[in-house]
Structure 1
Amino acid sequence: MSEVLNHKQVGQKLTRMAFEIYERNLNSSGVVFAGITGMGMILAKLLAEELRRISPIHVEELEVVLDKSDVAKSEIELSENVDLTNKNIILVDDVLNTGKTLVYAMKPFLDLEIQKMEIAVLVNRSHGLFPLRPDYTGFELSTTFNEHIRVDVSGPQHSVQLH
């Protein structure tokens, strides 16, 4: 196991991502961070906090609840029933592997009249099996399918490790 990003580096990546989100959403009425269950939701909260710190943009958060171990058979729903009409949604997850989880996580938004949807991930492994690319990426990391990335931002010492 080797550390890819330490606590300070993860913080720097999140700050840079928040500035990019601010720049691309200057004229929006607000941004909704939709974090995927687990580390995705924790990252969504961290990005929301950082965006609130650096900008006047109205920020909301909600969770995309799903079972990552069997996303194809999972019930996929939003944690809150909020009006997302004409809002900018940023779907957040920790690691983009094949894209399957993110594709399924978009499902609850398909019937809504949102303004736009973007994707933010802390680590992009570039194993795209689905035709999607993140709009905001903290770190690009080429790995084999046998290697595993572990993101831990749940405690006071954030880290990204390669196994």
Structure 2
Amino acid sequence: MTVTGNIILNHQQIQHKTRRIAYQILESNVNEEEIIIAGIANNGFVFAQKIKAELEKITDAVITLCEVRIDKQHPLTAVTTSIAKEAYIHKPLVLIDDVLNSGTTLIYGVKHFLDVPLKNFKTAVLVNRNHKKYPIKADFKGISLSTSIQEHIDVVFAEKDMAYLI
């Protein structure tokens, strides 16, 4: 896949930021026996898989991966997950996406998990932008960027991960 634009994060930087976020997640859940990592479908889920792999290197806690499916074109459509709600009741959960732009996707993901009693709830993103239309923030972020509304961030997870500003 060829993407034109300015590289804002190269493969090594993404690996470093992923590892750092994994350590932050562990620090906020240090005494937990299980941590639920919920990645928003597509790139958020890929990023969640990378964080899960890093967490498994640094903790003996069980890291359960969950895919969160949100219809981004019709966000009022029911959100679904790859694991049953009973699997994450009263457990710590981290909702993960690749880019936080307007906050629409993340806020609908958060809304879904508010229907379940969780032990604690955090959010994580690789790239945090400042164009939010909802009062949502990322608890853990790889990088924060001030960009124009016309610019687009494209994260490409492949053999050599890259994040581009287009």
Both structures adopt the same fold (TM-score exceeding 0.5): yes
Q: Where has structure 1 moved over 3 Å in runs of 4 or more? A: none
RMSD: 1.2
| Structure 1 unaligned spans of 5+ | none
Q: Secondary structure at the match of 1:106?
A: helix
Between the aligned partners of 2:165 and 2:41, the Cα distance in structure 1 is 21
Q: Which shows bigger deviation, 54-63 or 31-40? A: 54-63
Query: What displacement does 1:131 show?
Result: 1.2
Aligned to 1:54: 58
Between the aligned partners of 2:137 and 2:107, the Cα distance in structure 1 is 11
Kindly indicate whether residue 38 of structure 2 is the aligned counterpart of residue 34 of structure 1.
yes
Q: For each residue in 1:70-108, what CA deviation from the matched residue of structure 2 results, as whole angstroms up to 9, or x when unmatched?
A: 323x33111221521211110000000111111111233
Query: What displacement does 1:54 show?
Result: 1.4
Match of 2:78 among 57, 75, 79: 75
Aligned to 1:103: 107
Match of 1:119 among 115, 120, 123: 123
Between the aligned partners of 1:159 and 1:31, the Cα distance in structure 2 is 27
Aligned to 1:85: 89
Query: What displacement does 1:67 show?
Result: 1.6
Between the aligned partners of 1:2 and 1:110, the Cα distance in structure 2 is 37
Query: What displacement does 1:110 show?
Result: 2.0
Kindly indicate whether residue 163 of structure 2 is the aligned counterpart of residue 160 of structure 1.
yes
Aligned to 2:21: 17
Code of the aligned partner of 1:41: F
Code of the aligned partner of 2:15: G
Match of 2:140 among 136, 145, 154: 136
| Structure 2 unaligned spans of 5+ | none
Q: Secondary structure at the match of 1:69?
A: coil
Task: Report if aligned partners of 1:94, 1:123 keep a CA contact under 8 Å in 2.
Answer: yes
TM norm structure 2: 0.92
Total equivalences in the alignment: 161
